[in-house]
Amino acid sequence: YGSIIVRQPPSKDPNSHLYDYDLTTHVMLISDWLHEDAAERYPGRLAVNTGQDPESLLINGKGQFRDPNTGFMTNTPLEVFTITPRRRYRFRMINAFASVCPAQVTFEGHNLTVIATDG
């Protein structure tokens, strides 16, 4: 469970002019965090039914959850990506959701250029 990235030399990458760094630490494996077994939540249900959103999301296995009923917040770490100002970084986002749930990713205070997508 994870990523396999086959890199090519910058001279062969048509997008290499769009970033300064392509680091192995800048991969975001985003998964949904369900608080029950999938068989309990989705027994015989179609994947497009509403009400199947996850309770929270994990980035590289890290994330937090606030219980809407009690206000309890898990004391678990968040994923942190280190960057240097005025440098351009290539990030790779992998959607590993079990549910059919689109993800919207933003980087506060930074520009984002999508250079490739699949699926």
Q: pTM for the full model? A: 0.77
Where are the domains positioned within the chain? 1-119
Q: What is the pLDDT along the chain (119 residues), one digit of tens a residue?
A: 788 999 899 899 999 999 999 999 999 999 888 777 766 766 565 555 566 677 788 999 999 988 888 989 998 999 999 999 999 999 999 988 776 667 777 888 888 899 988 76
Query: In this structure, are residues 115 and 18 in contact, taking their beta carbons and an 8 Å threshold?
Result: yes
Query: In this structure, are residues 43 and 91 in contact, taking their beta carbons and an 8 Å threshold?
Result: no
pLDDT number for residue 52 = 64
Residues in the chain: 119
- SS3 for 37-64 is CHHHHCCCCCCCCCCCCCCEEEECCECC
pLDDT number for residue 19 = 95
Q: How far is the C-alpha of 36 from the C-alpha of 101, rounded, in Å? A: 17
